[in-house]
């Protein structure tokens, strides 16, 4: 009879987060402020722009899958088995 052994499975979950960031920065004019905001949104980090709050509005799971599996190490097996094995000779 074939014995079945537990394995460790590695899974991936792809999430999309919709967030709202509250920014704070100093500018001389609204046009300059809009340019700073555009730069921030384009990924240009400026020390004068400070993120004061980040709020997650929605979390959407886009996908999930089992990436791989691998046998348990002896230590991992002993930890979940409580140091006792059901298969003793």
pLDDT of 73 higher than 70 = yes
As a whole number, mean pLDDT of residues 31-41 equals: 94
Residue 14 counted as domain residue? yes
Query: How is residue 3 written in tokens?
Result: 């014995």
> Could you tell me the residue range of the domain that residue 60 belongs to?
7-71
Residue 11 counted as domain residue? yes
Residue 1 counted as domain residue? no
Residue 32 counted as domain residue? yes
Q: For residue range 49-58, what is the model confidence (pLDDT) as tens digits?
A: 899 999 999 9
Residue 87 counted as domain residue? no
Residue 84 counted as domain residue? no
- What pLDDT sits at residue 2? 59
Q: How far apart are CA 66 and CA 11, in angstroms?
A: 4
Proportion of the chain above pLDDT 70, given as a percent: 88
Q: How far apart are CA 83 and CA 73, in angstroms?
A: 13
- Number of domains the chain contains: 1
- Cβ burial of 61 (10 Å; 0-12, 13-18, 19+) is exposed
Residue 83 counted as domain residue? no
Residue 2 counted as domain residue? no
């Amino acid at each position: 009879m074939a014995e079945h052994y537990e394995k460790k499975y590695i899974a991936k979950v792809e999430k999309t987060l919709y967030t709202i960031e509250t920014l704070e920065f100093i500018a001389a004019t609204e046009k300059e402020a809009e340019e700073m905001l555009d730069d921030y949104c384009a990924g240009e980090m400026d020390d004068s722009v400070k993120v004061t709050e980040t709020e997650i509005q929605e979390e959407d799971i886009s996908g999930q899958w089992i990436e791989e599996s691998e046998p348990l190490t002896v230590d991992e097996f002993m930890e979940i088995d409580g140091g006792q094995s059901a298969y003793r000779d």
